[in-house]
């Protein structure tokens, strides 16, 4: 398989990447309710394919550590997170006013284990960012993540907690600039809104535009203040195919990589842009969708791959299995191996599905106008924007490995290793780090958090990161003997 690009430090042949993959065996048990198109079961189906194709043995498989309430509050409002923690199907009738306030109830229903679900998928995304920050992998994958519509104070579009924003905040502790690319059919509005006024995060969203949820993502929406030209929107029409998509994707992203020079990339791989999606209206093949992953991988920049939308679940599993292979540099066979969900993939039992013959409403003239306009915006950017030097909070620390552990390669941070065959979970017990306690205290006093802008003319909920430092989010081992350390690690602004 032609992978392109030069090898990363961890790869000797230009093909291999060190990949860590986050998966919680419980994630497929969460259920939005009868008739709801969002089905977490698709994550379990994807995992089964990965196991039977033999891909898991090529990756570090990790069970995500659940994000804690305070971790989620690094972006979300305290009262919103508290509501998510407390609401249950049994109590929701007593909290109708709160349900309306936080946009929970219809598209975003209350279901059993809702908060645990949020903790799990957010934990995988932030955990992946931590791994990348520490150089422990080249690519991190969390197919349960990518819920890009959630806002600071409300749920939206089947999304409750914005794991993407939380992961980007983690990456910003190590990298001056982070690029977010969204290939879901829906506009990545929650992520764009969060970083609309900063030049440290660039967001690029390719999406269906015009009388389609969430209704945002006009080509004229380009960011504000310091963030002007750091939000790019690629509005597309029904039926776009592989060739048309890459006519835009490759030159635009190529130019973004050249001028923005991100230290890390987050790619949201929503599979509702595939042909035949239950809610979508694009006509991409799995290989065409995966070409975006392959292209991002070729730049050899730390890469976080996340899930997102996708409502024809057999095709979602096909897509994310194939894209895991692309991340690993492995071409997987089209003939599907026998596995526990084999009957979902009949009558062909193949990995790839042919696109339909639907009309492509994206004319070459329209595509050219979009491409030229976006390249014009990019020409207005200064190369690699400067970032003011300042003291920053400490990185999320990885616990010291147990000296008795035999395999050094198996020493990974608070996130536990998962033995895939029997789903046994090994957890390393660690003592909290004592070093730099005074320095931590000083930074805690210094940290101011984010300046929240409440300007109705732009957005009511955006992050201004011109005055970093960034608070310490993230995932730490939750043990009794670490509770004191946590008070130092998570200063209150």
Mean pLDDT, range 259-282, rounded to an integer = 98
Digit-coded pLDDT (tens) for 374-421? 999 999 998 775 555 455 555 665 543 332 333 333 323 333 333 333
Q: Computed from CA positions of residues 210, 212, 215, 218, in that sequence, does the dihedral angle turn out positive or negative?
A: negative
CA distance 140 to 128: 5
What is the reported pLDDT for 393? 58
Reported as type and span, the H/E element at residue 97 is: helix 96-101
Residue 21: pLDDT band with limits 50, 70, 90: very high
More confident residue, 73 or 492: 73
What is the reported pLDDT for 481? 31
DSSP states of 258-305: HHH--SEEEEE--GGGBTT-SS----B-HHHHHHHHHHHHTT---EEE
Reported as type and span, the H/E element at residue 325 is: helix 313-328
CA distance 99 to 92: 8
Mean pLDDT, range 32-44, rounded to an integer = 98
For residue 63, pLDDT beyond 80: yes
- The 3-state DSSP class for residue 17 equals coil
CA distance 99 to 97: 5
Which listed residue (41, 148, 149, 187) is catalytic? 149
CA distance 142 to 137: 13
Determine contact, residues 336/351, Cβ cutoff 8 Å. Answer: yes
Determine contact, residues 28/46, Cβ cutoff 8 Å. Answer: no
CA distance 446 to 350: 56
Question: Cβ-count burial of 33 within 10 angstroms (0-12 exposed, 13-18 middle, 19+ buried)?
Answer: exposed
What is the reported pLDDT for 5? 32
CA distance 73 to 152: 9
149 as an active site residue: the answer is yes
For residue 28, pLDDT beyond 70: yes
Average pLDDT, the chain: 82
Digit-coded pLDDT (tens) for 433-465? 333 333 333 333 333 333 333 333 333 334 444
| Residues listed for the chain | 493
Mean pLDDT, range 203-207, rounded to an integer = 98
What is the reported pLDDT for 453? 31
DSSP states of 218-247: -TT----GGGTTSEEEEEE-TT--HHHHHH
CA distance 225 to 199: 9
What is the reported pLDDT for 441? 36
Digit-coded pLDDT (tens) for 140-156? 999 999 999 999 999 99
What is the reported pLDDT for 171? 98
CA distance 317 to 48: 9
Cα separations in angstroms, 385 against 226, 265, 300, 464: 10, 16, 20, 15
What is the reported pLDDT for 383? 78
DSSP states of 31-80: ---TT-S--THHHHHHHHHHHHTT-GGGSEEEEPPPPPHHHHTTTS-HHH
For residue 337, pLDDT beyond 90: yes
For residues 298, 7, 17 and 259, what is the CA-based torsion angle, rounded to 10 degrees?
A: -40
Determine contact, residues 120/24, Cβ cutoff 8 Å. Answer: yes
What is the reported pLDDT for 16? 81
Q: Quote the DSSP letter at residue 476.
A: -
For residue 127, pLDDT beyond 80: yes
How many other CB atoms sit within 10 Å of the CB of residue 97?
A: 8
What is the reported pLDDT for 398? 55
Q: Supply 228's token pair.
A: 């002007």
Q: What share of the chain is helix, strand, coil (3-state, %, to 5)?
A: 35, 15, 50
Q: Supply 450's token pair.
A: 């984010």
Q: Supply 18's token pair.
A: 């060190």
Determine contact, residues 462/196, Cβ cutoff 8 Å. Answer: yes
* Residue 305 phi, psi (nearest 5): -100, 125
């Amino acid at each position: 398989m032609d992978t392109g690009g030069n090898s990363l430090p961890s790869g000797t042949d230009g093909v291999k990447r060190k990949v860590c993959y986050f998966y919680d065996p419980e994630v497929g048990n969460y259920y939005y309710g009868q008739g709801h198109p969002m089905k977490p079961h698709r994550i379990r189906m994807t995992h089964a394919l990965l196991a039977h194709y033999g891909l898991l043995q090529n990756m570090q498989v990790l069970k995500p550590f659940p994000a804690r309430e305070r971790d989620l509050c690094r972006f979300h409002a305290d009262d919103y997170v508290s509501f998510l923690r407390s609401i249950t199907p049994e109590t929701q009738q007593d909290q109708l006013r709160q349900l309306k306030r936080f946009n929970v109830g219809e598209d975003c229903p209350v279901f059993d284990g809702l908060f645990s679900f949020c903790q799990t998928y957010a934990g995988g995304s932030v955990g992946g960012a931590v791994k990348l920050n520490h150089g422990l992998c080249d690519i991190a994958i969390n197919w349960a993540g990518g819920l890009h519509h959630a806002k600071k104070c409300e749920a939206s579009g089947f999304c409750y907690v914005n794991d993407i924003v939380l992961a980007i905040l983690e990456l910003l502790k190590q990298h001056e600039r982070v690029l977010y690319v969204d290939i879901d059919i829906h506009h990545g509005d929650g992520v764009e809104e969060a970083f609309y006024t900063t030049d440290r995060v660039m967001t690029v969203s390719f999406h269906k535009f015009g009388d389609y949820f969430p209704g945002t993502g006009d080509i004229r929406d380009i960011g504000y203040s310091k963030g002007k030209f750091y939000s790019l929107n690629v509005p597309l029409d029904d039926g776009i195919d592989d060739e048309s998509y890459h006519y835009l994707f490759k030159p635009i992203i190529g130019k973004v990589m050249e001028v923005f020079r991100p230290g890390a990339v987050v790619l949201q791989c929503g599979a509702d842009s595939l042909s035949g999606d239950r809610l979508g209206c694009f006509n991409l093949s799995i290989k065409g969708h995966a070409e975006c992953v392959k292209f991002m991988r070729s730049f050899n920049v730390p890469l976080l791959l996340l899930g997102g939308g996708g409502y024809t679940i057999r095709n979602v599993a096909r897509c994310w299995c194939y894209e895991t292979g692309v991340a690993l540099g492995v071409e997987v066979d089209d003939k599907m191996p026998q596995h526990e969900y084999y009957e979902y993939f009949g009558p062909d039992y193949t990995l790839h599905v042919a696109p339909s013959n639907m009309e492509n409403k994206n004319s070459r003239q329209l595509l050219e106008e979009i491409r030229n306009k976006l390249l014009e915006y990019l020409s207005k950017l200064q190369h690699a924007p400067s970032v003011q030097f300042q003291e920053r909070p400490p990185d999320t620390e990885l616990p010291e490995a147990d000296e008795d552990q035999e395999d050094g390669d198996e020493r990974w941070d608070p996130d536990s290793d998962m033995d895939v065959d029997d789903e046994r979970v090994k957890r390393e017990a660690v003592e909290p780090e004592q070093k730099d306690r005074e320095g931590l205290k000083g930074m805690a006093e210094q940290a101011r958090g984010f300046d929240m802008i409440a300007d109705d003319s732009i957005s009511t909920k955006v992050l201004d990161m011109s005055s970093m430092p960034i608070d310490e989010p993230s995932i730490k081992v939750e043990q009794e003997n670490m509770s004191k350390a946590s008070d130092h690690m998570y200063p209150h602004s």
